Structure 1
Amino acid sequence: MQELKNHLKKLSKFESALSLLHWDMETYMPPNAVEKRAQIIGEISGYVFEQFISEKTQELIEKAQPNDVESQAILRLVKKEYERMKKIPKELFVELQIETSKAQQAWQNAKKEKDFNLFKPNLKKVVELEKKVIEVLGYEENKYDTLLDQYEPGLKTKQLNEIIPPLRSFLVEFLENLSQGKQPNTEILEGEYDETLQKRFSEELLKALNYDFNSGRLDVSAHPFTISISHNDVRITTRFDRFDIKNSIFSTIHECGHALYELGIPEEYRELPIGDGASMGIHESQSRFWENIVGRSFEFWKFMYPKFVKYFPRFEKIDIKDFWRAINKVERSLIRTEADEVTYNLHIMIRFEIEEALINDRINVDELPLIWNEKMKEYLGISPKNDSEGVLQDVHWAHGSFGYFPSYMLGNLYAAQIFKQMKKDIPDFYQKVENGEFKPILNWLREKIHSKGKVYQPMELIKMVTGETLNPQYFIDYVSEKYKEVYML
């Protein structure tokens, strides 16, 4: 077993180098370096791919004799990944790495120019390659299941189609009910916010939430992300909008949640298949927990508001309750990352339906802008004015991350269920938040979730933590209670 671990740890070091190259590509790399960087990433990725699917890996898998839960999980995960990767021709794997690297830069340019046509050729290529991967990997009922499994092991399209309709019905009706309540005054948030001050406040937020700047850093990117380079190197990016302070605040807290999870995974799990989050849905539960359940709570702002006012003194005259209601305003908005807790899952449902249809050849890339706009009108009653507000707003398709979006919705559902259990174990949860005592909350998450790495399947883990499998009712109860208070219903 130790030989297999050593082999995997060696390959993991190359993955760390690739992570660093990707981080640089989205933060500081000069634009003219795209072509060469894509080739470098392709070359290193190809080498790791070859080494992983080699006879040596197969021999070590066959020889391995796990003697504990962690070793059993390592063997289970590496066997699954080996069997998956072995089916993919190296040329196809490398081509996908190169094309997604190019597509990311094309997406950035297209988004800036608000023109989907500048990204369309790259996206067509990525979609074509993703479909080839699905064909060689195989599928049972739905092609999309093959992609879902990469992010949420064991999840099927069929299960999502069971979860979504009742949740969608509740959200649409609840959205209508809130329109009858007392509307928050968001005019108090209008105005210009200095980007330097936004960054300093973002750093203040991260320090308060126990993000370790000796093990990470904060930078700016077109689309906020968290990336784990190695055990004590987990980096965050955010973005600043001069006219929308909520953007940087909640992007920063969201990414902090991801980073805290990564930093809480045991060091001995690192460089091994278990040295990761249980799934992207569980990962998103951590970011959404800190962003929404903590970061959008009234108690959180009772603690942070004096610090916020220090950077933006014009809020001295604004009542904290009015501020809290304003940052929790529910509205039919265009941008997913800026959406409130009530409408957010509707944004995810739109993306899931489009992706699933695209992968199953019921729609094509040329139709995406039109279909996107139609679904926005159907679900949220609004239409984007340009492609940047619509089909170009997310980087995921440029990455080739088809199947990822449902993780965000699952993250919201998991987070509410985890929170229900946490309140039983920490009855004075909101008092601790109001006092700025976030360490006991983080320690609870570390014990129950972070310390488990990827040893357990996501549904196993959620049952271990909460005593039951995924139950969307906890999310429905959470948003109902909170937003009736926000809207004074």
Structure 2
Amino acid sequence: MREKFRELVKRKNRIHANLELIQWDLETKTPLKSRPYLSELVGELSMQDYALSTSDEFVNLVEELNKQKETLTEIEKREIELSMEEIEKKKKIPADEYEDYAKLTSYNQTVWEEAKAKKDFSIVKEGLKKIFDYNKKFATYRRKDEKTLYDVLLNDYEKGMDTERLDVFFSELKKEIVPFLKKIQEKKKTIKEVDKISVPIDEDVQLKFAKFLSSYVGFDFEKGLVETSEHPFTLNLNKNDVRLTTKNKKDSPMSTVFSIIHESGHGIYEQQTGDELIDTLLGTGGSMGLHESQSRFMENIVGANKAFWKPLYNKAGEFYPFLKDIEFEEFYKQINRIEPGLIRVEADELTYSLHIMLRYEIEKMLINGEINIDDLPKIWNEKVKEYLGLEPKNDSEGLMQDIHWYCGLIGYFPSYAIGNAYASQIYNAMKKDFDVEKALENQDLKKITDWLGEKIHKYGLLKDTPTIIKEVTGEELNPKYYIEYLKEKYSKIYEI
């Protein structure tokens, strides 16, 4: 029985790997006219996974093994637990609707790219409406004890999270960060800030530097690769084949730098899952919040750290010659400049959570039926004005800037803010074990990635996120460390 279960799990993983390969192609190199065909393949493979996961054979195996828990290994127990959750989730969704949705979300990514390029929301509006309608319908099928439909979707990315907890979480961030941001903005009126790092750099050079930085922070190119895409992402076939993308912007070369360091955080996590988890259901990173904690840790706590750049600055100048004309201290302030902007992925650390709150509030309203897709451009722009004091010139720098909604990731965005909070909490714990800044100055990034590997990465999905966070930090999610980190860092930079 256990041997048969292993065989079916292996088959599921092969389907997953093929889906990832097609997704990689769709977002990197697929010819435009081939995309509908590949989207059909995604739908077909998704149905194979659906059919396997809900087949009598697989369901009966899982149920029988669940009755024999005492005879199972820890890995098998966790696999059975997660399998039962997946079965319950998928069996509540009709097969034809599941297939239609898989095809829709795959193809709609292509439509989004066209709409974004043409700055025309009307091109993708109908597809987006269908995606939100499907998510509301699926949440209705699956709803049990959740207070709202949106709570059902949140649980897909951060198990145990709900709007009640998130409202308190975001309220705390808003209460502390918004007044602090205003202090900085007042201080900025008395100082002259000139952007010295938005200098045109050839995109091929940016990609070379991105690959150098990815390797520098610990991404293993014998088990992974880097390409470019419209929206940066990370995917894994297994721990020995992890793929990252970055988006190079000719006039914003530092954007590429932090994009690739961010994705490398995701990639290192996947590469450092335990060898014993290969060909199990557990060989990938944990919840989205925990995964984002690793990318945001690498991007901000490591990549925007003065100690990280000290030994690296001259080397960086070989790729980006304009850095040779900027004093190091000025460069450090430039990469940590607080400046509200329209684009989430380029947002500074202080305003980043405002971008997430905006998306959280909007998708919650859409799922709860308080607004509809036709209202979206108006609502988006109003909230950008309220939170950031800015007005998008078009929908491409507004509600179409992120791919998430357009490929079906509804309820995902809060994970970014949770990830920021986890990252600061993890950083606080790491500092108790060794001098993080000294390790960065000594170019000993391995000391950091080894610590993360031992404390977090190796477990994959074997342990749930609340358990890992409690074991690593001694407490549950606590935003105070994120708030303290931000205030301490930027009080020094802006001398307030």
In 1: Cα distance, 2:448 partner to 2:386 partner: 39
Residue correspondences, number: 488
Instruction: Provide the residue aligned with 2:312 in structure 1.
Output: 304
TM-score for the superposition, normalised by structure 1: 0.98
Q: Which moved more, 1:266-275 or 1:429-438?
A: 266-275
Name the amino acid aligned to 1:176: K
1:5 CA displacement:
2.7
Matches within 5 A, 1:196-275: 196-275=204-283
Instruction: Provide the residue aligned with 1:458 in structure 2.
Output: 465
In 1: Cα distance, 2:278 partner to 2:345 partner: 30
Instruction: Provide the residue aligned with 1:56 in structure 2.
Output: 57
Instruction: Provide the residue aligned with 1:488 in structure 2.
Output: 495
Is the contact made by 1:239 and 1:251 (CA closer than 8 Å) also made in structure 2? Answer: yes
Name the amino acid aligned to 1:142: T
The Cα offsets for residues 140-184 of structure 1, whole Å up to 9 and x where unpaired, read as: 311001111111111111110111112112111010011233557
1:70 CA displacement:
2.2
Is the contact made by 1:211 and 1:260 (CA closer than 8 Å) also made in structure 2? Answer: yes
Instruction: Provide the residue aligned with 1:5 in structure 2.
Output: 6
* SS class of match (1:202): helix
Instruction: Provide the residue aligned with 2:453 in structure 1.
Output: 446
Is the contact made by 2:342 and 2:398 (CA closer than 8 Å) also made in structure 1? Answer: yes
Pick aligned residue for 1:146 from 143, 152, 160: 152
Instruction: Provide the residue aligned with 2:119 in structure 1.
Output: 114
1:302 CA displacement:
0.5
Matches within 5 A, 1:274-293: 274-293=282-301
In 2: Cα distance, 1:315 partner to 1:50 partner: 55
* SS class of match (1:16): helix
In 1: Cα distance, 2:19 partner to 2:321 partner: 43
* SS class of match (1:402): coil
Is the contact made by 1:184 and 1:322 (CA closer than 8 Å) also made in structure 2? Answer: no
Instruction: Provide the residue aligned with 1:167 in structure 2.
Output: 173
1:94 CA displacement:
0.4
Name the amino acid aligned to 1:167: L
1:459 CA displacement:
1.1
Is the contact made by 2:199 and 2:322 (CA closer than 8 Å) also made in structure 1? Answer: no
Is the contact made by 2:242 and 2:270 (CA closer than 8 Å) also made in structure 1? Answer: yes
Is the contact made by 1:184 and 1:325 (CA closer than 8 Å) also made in structure 2? Answer: no
Name the amino acid aligned to 1:128: D
Q: Note closer, same or farther for the CA distance 1:436–1:8 as it changes in structure 2 (3 Å cut).
A: same
Instruction: Provide the residue aligned with 2:82 in structure 1.
Output: 77
In 2: Cα distance, 1:376 partner to 1:61 partner: 47
- CA-based RMSD of the aligned residues comes to 1.2
Q: Which moved more, 1:124-133 or 1:10-19?
A: 124-133
| Runs of 5+ consecutive residues of structure 1 not aligned to the other structure | none
Aligned identity (percent) is: 41
| Runs of 5+ consecutive residues of structure 2 not aligned to the other structure | none
Q: Which moved more, 1:285-294 or 1:81-90?
A: 81-90
TM-score for the superposition, normalised by structure 2: 0.96
1:189 aligns with 2:189: no
The Cα offsets for residues 389-420 of structure 1, whole Å up to 9 and x where unpaired, read as: 10000000111000100000000000000000
Pick aligned residue for 1:68 from 62, 70, 73: 73
Pick aligned residue for 2:133 from 116, 119, 128: 128
The Cα offsets for residues 32-58 of structure 1, whole Å up to 9 and x where unpaired, read as: 112211111111111221111011111
In 2: Cα distance, 1:68 partner to 1:419 partner: 32
Instruction: Provide the residue aligned with 1:24 in structure 2.
Output: 25
In 1: Cα distance, 2:106 partner to 2:221 partner: 28
In 2: Cα distance, 1:150 partner to 1:398 partner: 17
1:234 CA displacement:
0.2
In 2: Cα distance, 1:180 partner to 1:161 partner: 28
* SS class of match (1:217): strand
Is the contact made by 1:13 and 1:271 (CA closer than 8 Å) also made in structure 2? Answer: no
Is the contact made by 1:275 and 1:454 (CA closer than 8 Å) also made in structure 2? Answer: yes
1:132 CA displacement:
1.6
Q: Note closer, same or farther for the CA distance 1:455–1:169 as it changes in structure 2 (3 Å cut).
A: same
* SS class of match (1:214): coil
